[in-house]
Amino acid sequence: MTNTQAQVKGYAVTLEVFVPARVAERMVNRLDAAWRVESWTPQAASFMAAREALKAAGLNDAVRVSTREVTS
């Protein structure tokens, strides 16, 4: 008899990661230097900072990642 139950592949976890503006600005400088362009925005750089942190934790298959500006 065949097993018709679905196999669990993993778990989807929704995260909100806060990247301080100063960290995003440092990341802009790093990305501009590494990519040899000056077109990185702080918002895009904050995404890359979060992506690096996830990758360092072995979670580099993250999908559905978006960024938004947080103001006070």
40 in a domain, yes or no?
yes
Task: Inform me whether the pLDDT recorded for 38 exceeds 90.
Answer: no
21 in a domain, yes or no?
yes
Global pTM value: 0.66
Residue 1 pLDDT: 60
Residue 21 pLDDT: 92
Task: Inform me whether the pLDDT recorded for 62 exceeds 70.
Answer: no
Work out the average pLDDT over 11-24.
86
Work out the average pLDDT over 9-29.
87
> Which residue from 51, 49, 60, 56 is spatially nearest to 24, judged by alpha carbons?
49
Q: How many domains does the chain have?
A: 1
1 in a domain, yes or no?
no
Residues 70 and 64 sit within 8 Å (Cβ to Cβ): no
Residue 28's CB: how many other CB atoms inside 10 A?
Answer: 21
41 in a domain, yes or no?
yes
Range of the domain at 54: 16-67
62 in a domain, yes or no?
yes
Task: Inform me whether the pLDDT recorded for 11 exceeds 70.
Answer: yes
Cα–Cα distance, 65 to 7 (Å, whole number): 25
